[in-house]
Structure 1
Amino acid sequence: MSTLAVFVIFIICYMLIMLEKIDRALIAGAGGVFMLLMGIYDIDAAFLKYIDWNTIALLFAMMIIVSITGKTGMFEYVAIVLAKWVNGRPIPLLIVISVLTAMGSAFLANVTIVLLIVPVIMTLVRLLCIPAIPYLIAIIISSNIGGTATLIGDPPNVMIGQAVKHLSFNAFLTHLTPVVSIIFIVVLIYLIFLYKFELTSKTINTKQIHTIQAKDYLQKTPALPKSIFVLILTISGFMFQPLLFVDLTSIALAGAILLMLLTHDEYRADDVLKQVEWTTLFFFIGLFLLVGGLEEVGILDELARGLVLYTEGDLPKTSILILWLTGLLSGFVDNIPFVAAMIPVILELKEYGMTNLDPLWWSLALGACLGGNGTLLGSSANLVVAGLAKKEKADVSFVEFIKVGFPVVLMSLFISTVYVYFRYLVHFM
């Protein structure tokens, strides 16, 4: 009976999260609390076993660092300088914004980057009198692709990195950056081909771009060099983490506390904490509790057995299945709940004789992050861009996005399949 109850609670919460009618943090939290009240697990198990506080703390620390750095106007300044560099020409501007978004998403988290980039691009398209939709869609797609490249770029990667300790920041760079770079180039060519006529069919007054003064966005205060210093220091810490023998969460927390101490004269701690995306953090907590219920009653064990039974324990078959299943499903549901459910499933595969699980982890990361481009519901970054665009009366419709995004997902998964096969699986065939 408890198994059925947990399954029903999970499915109901999942459907409500997809519908986006009620805040997803409330839904996930309510589901977790309901399982507590039903006695599926006790409060000690919930807080000490199922909630991954390392992931919560890492996200919290990075939110603080980016929040303070964002106040200095550094990101807007860089975007405008690059726009001037291409003289406001629509196609080069599309390329520059896409590259900037992808690179930023790799090292700062895609949700944060789109929050900073979208207001800038909306200002630019108004001045140049060019369509906003191609740029908004390019930002969404680039943020999800760029976020795939590193451990901190997209929440699914953070979750995988915290679950598998030997998958360091450098491991993600080494294993995912090559294929992500190829995918990004292919997709960027596709977007240029797709929007070339729309962006060049009108006469553009490129001189308007020079009316924007990049320095107006830059807050020339002592916080600016301090933020840049701590940001570079923290990212360097991530990269050299194997040599430092300090976990990523500790490095991120150290960076956040250091930056708050250095800038406390300009930015009060309570003001900085108000900028933290608490809704996202509480959503993660509720999500961990929901997935904990599935683990507690053995549903995840059955999923693992079913996966092994279907693939007959064959590593290549399992890896490719995870890649495509995750990629396609992540396009229609938020990738965070699916990855949270899949991590314990893959860990269970050790019990069935699979000793080398790394190809499965890379398949899961690629599928979850790249699959987020399928629809507007596929990633948190997608919904953030859509919400910001709606405020600016540049509505990105579900149908319009899926026409562009779903082909991107298919291309991305095909390239990823070839990459995973030849880099990790060909020796097992």
Structure 2
Amino acid sequence: MFTVLTVIIFLITYIVIMTEKIDRALAAGLGGIAMLIVGIYDVNKAFVTYIDWNTIALLFAMMLIVIITSQTGVFEFLAIVMAKMVKGRPIPLLIVITILTAIGSAFLANVTMVLLLVPIILTIVRMIHIPAIPYLISIIIASNIGGTATLIGDPPNIMIGQAVEHLTFNAFLIHLSPIVLLIFFVILGYLIFVYWDKLKANHIDQKKLTSIRARDYLKVTPALPKSVSVLIMTIIGFMLNPLLHIDLTSIALAGALLLLLLTHDEYKPDEVFKQVEWGTLFFFIGLFMLIGGLEEVGIIDELARGLVFYTEGDLPKTSMLILWMTGVLSGFVDNIPFVAAMIPVILEFKDYGMTNLDPLWWSLALGACLGGNGTLLGASSNLVVAGLAAKEKEDIKFIEFLKVGFPIVIISLGISSVYIYFRYLIHFTV
């Protein structure tokens, strides 16, 4: 009885999240509360066992650091400087904005990066009279690829890193950044090919571009060096995690609190807290409660057994299945709930004789993050860009994005398959 109720609650909630009939944070929260009301588990178990407070706290801390840093205008300054460097020429502008998005998404989280960049690129393209859609779609694609490279770049990676202790910030850099770099430049070439005709013919208003002064966007106050320094120190702290033996959440929280303390004269904590993406945090809380229900009634165990049975416990087969299944499905459903459901499934594989699970974790991370480029529903950053663009009357059509994004997913997964096979799996097939 409880199993049936859990599945019904999970599916209804998931459908509501996908269709966006109501806010996804509210939908996930209602689904989680429904698990409590019908008695799947009690509130103590939800808060102590199933909600991953480390992930919530890490996201919260990084939001605070980026919110304060963004107030200084440093991100707008960098974007405009890059635009002026290429003299506003459409194709070079596409290249530099895509590179900036990818790098920023790796170290600031992709949702945060697109929130900062989209208003800037919309201002630039309107001033020099070139179409916005190619840039908006390229920002989405680059944010998901760049976010794949680090533990903090994309929410699925944060969830995986918190679930598996030895997958540190440096581990993600070492194992994922090489393939992400290759995929990024291949896809950048593909985007240039797709949008070449559309952008090459556009006339550039050089006078308007010249009139934009990047320095005007920079707020040269004591908060500028303080926020940039704390951001850099926090990222260095992540990299030194194996030497410091301090978990990432503690490093991020220390950085956030230090920055709040150093800048409280200019940016009151109450005002900073108002800008936190509370909806995202509560979405995660509801999501963890939903997945907790599946764990509680044994559905996760059954999924693990089914995968092991299908692949006969063969590590290469299991790894490739997870990569492609996650990649394709993440294009049509938000990758965050999918990864939340897959993490306990992979953890269960230890009980079936699989001792080396790392290839499975890298397959899950690559599939979830890169698969998010498949459709507008594939990742949080996609929805954020689409929402910001719609407010400015620059609607990104679902089909238009699908035509560009889905081939990119296939290319990305193909390259990832070769990488995973030759780096992790070849020894298991000879």
Query: Does 2:42 align with 1:42?
Result: yes
Measured after TM superposition, the shift of residue 49 of structure 1 is: 0.2
Query: Does 2:404 align with 1:426?
Result: no
Match of 1:341 in 2: 341
For 1:24 and 1:199, how far apart are their aligned partners in 2?
A: 35
For 2:192 and 2:241, how far apart are their aligned partners in 1?
A: 38
Give the aligned residue type for 1:344.
Answer: P
For 2:260 and 2:72, how far apart are their aligned partners in 1?
A: 14
Query: Does 2:110 align with 1:110?
Result: yes
For 2:202 and 2:57, how far apart are their aligned partners in 1?
A: 48
* Two-structure CA RMSD over aligned residues (Å): 0.6
Measured after TM superposition, the shift of residue 206 of structure 1 is: 2.9
Measured after TM superposition, the shift of residue 393 of structure 1 is: 1.0
Match of 1:212 in 2: 212
For 1:24 and 1:78, how far apart are their aligned partners in 2?
A: 33
* Preserved contact between residue 128 and residue 209 of structure 1 (Cα < 8 Å): yes
| Mapping for residues 37-116 of structure 1, pairs under 5 Å | 37-116=37-116
Give the aligned residue type for 1:67.
Answer: I
Match of 2:351 in 1: 351
For 2:337 and 2:205, how far apart are their aligned partners in 1?
A: 46
- State the Cα deviation string for residues 86-117 of structure 1 (Å, max 9, x = none): 11110000000000000000000000000110
Give the aligned residue type for 2:184.
Answer: F
Residue ranges of structure 1 left out of the alignment (5+ in a row): none
For 1:147 and 1:135, how far apart are their aligned partners in 2?
A: 18
Give the aligned residue type for 1:104.
Answer: G
Give the aligned residue type for 2:281.
Answer: L
Measured after TM superposition, the shift of residue 205 of structure 1 is: 2.6
Give the aligned residue type for 2:231.
Answer: L
* Preserved contact between residue 89 and residue 206 of structure 1 (Cα < 8 Å): no
- State the Cα deviation string for residues 296-315 of structure 1 (Å, max 9, x = none): 00000000000000000000
* Preserved contact between residue 60 and residue 276 of structure 1 (Cα < 8 Å): yes
Match of 1:324 in 2: 324
* Preserved contact between residue 129 and residue 203 of structure 2 (Cα < 8 Å): no
How many residues were matched structurally? 429
- State the Cα deviation string for residues 69-94 of structure 1 (Å, max 9, x = none): 01000000000001111111100000
Scaled by the length of structure 2, what TM-score is found?
Answer: 0.99
For 1:230 and 1:259, how far apart are their aligned partners in 2?
A: 6
Give the aligned residue type for 2:373.
Answer: N
Measured after TM superposition, the shift of residue 204 of structure 1 is: 2.0
Measured after TM superposition, the shift of residue 43 of structure 1 is: 1.1
- State the Cα deviation string for residues 296-346 of structure 1 (Å, max 9, x = none): 000000000000000000000000000000000000000000000000000
Q: 3-state DSSP class of the match of 1:9? A: helix
Q: 3-state DSSP class of the match of 1:130? A: coil
Scaled by the length of structure 1, what TM-score is found?
Answer: 0.99
For 2:7 and 2:343, how far apart are their aligned partners in 1?
A: 17
Q: 3-state DSSP class of the match of 2:141? A: helix
Give the aligned residue type for 1:153.
Answer: G
For 1:393 and 1:193, how far apart are their aligned partners in 2?
A: 26
Measured after TM superposition, the shift of residue 44 of structure 1 is: 1.0
- State the Cα deviation string for residues 44-73 of structure 1 (Å, max 9, x = none): 100000000000000000000000001000
Give the aligned residue type for 1:324.
Answer: W
Give the aligned residue type for 1:320.
Answer: M
Give the aligned residue type for 2:362.
Answer: W
Query: Does 2:134 align with 1:129?
Result: no
For 1:395 and 1:39, how far apart are their aligned partners in 2?
A: 43
For 1:26 and 1:204, how far apart are their aligned partners in 2?
A: 44
Give the aligned residue type for 1:423.
Answer: R
For 2:43 and 2:201, how far apart are their aligned partners in 1?
A: 61
Give the aligned residue type for 1:25.
Answer: A
Percent identity between the two aligned chains: 73
